[in-house]
Amino acid sequence: GQQVMQIPQYQHVQEGEDFTTYCNSSTTLSNIQWYKQRPGGHPVFLIQLVKSGEVKKQKRLTFQFGEAKKNSSLHITATQTTDVGTYFCAGCPYTGFQKLVFGTGTRLLVSP
């Protein structure tokens, strides 16, 4: 079945440093979504990318969708302590119904 892997599994940075998580799918995706889950919380939708090579920005967050629509990345510039949490990519394959397959997640810890 479809697999979506993320690296790294865990990253600990100092506040102000940059952070990047990478997402790779075993199959081509119709779109990719990113979610953030704070400790003890639930996944919260951040953004969706649909087009090959698409790049979107949300303040300090930059999201990219690969040309082959099989990989994606999330880059955070100048991390803040509020960025702490687990970041999940989630891919939607080309099937008749939406079936979002979540990546393995990257846990980000930011020290002040």
Partner 1 sequence: DTAVSQTPKYLVTQMGNDKSIKCEQNLGHDTMYWYKQDSKKFLKIMFSYNNKELIINETVPNRFSPKSPDKAHLNLHINSLELGDSAVYFCASSSFLQGRGGYTFGSGTRLTVV
Among 38, 44, 58, 111, binds partner 1 (CB under 8 A): 44
Among 18, 41, 68, 78, binds partner 1 (CB under 8 A): 41
The CA-atom distances, in angstroms, between 95 and each of 4, 11, 68 are 16, 33, 17
Among 19, 21, 22, 31, binds partner 1 (CB under 8 A): 31
Cα three-residue angle 74-78-44, rounded to 5 degrees: 45
Using CB under 8 A, which of the segments 13-21, 58-66, 73-81, 87-95 binds partner 1?
87-95
- Please give the DSSP secondary-structure letter assigned to residue 109: E
Kind of pairing between the strands at 29-37 and 85-93: antiparallel
Q: Summarize as ranges the residues that interact with partner 1 (CB under 8 A).
A: 30-31, 33, 35, 37, 41-48, 50, 86, 88, 90, 92, 97-102, 104-105, 107
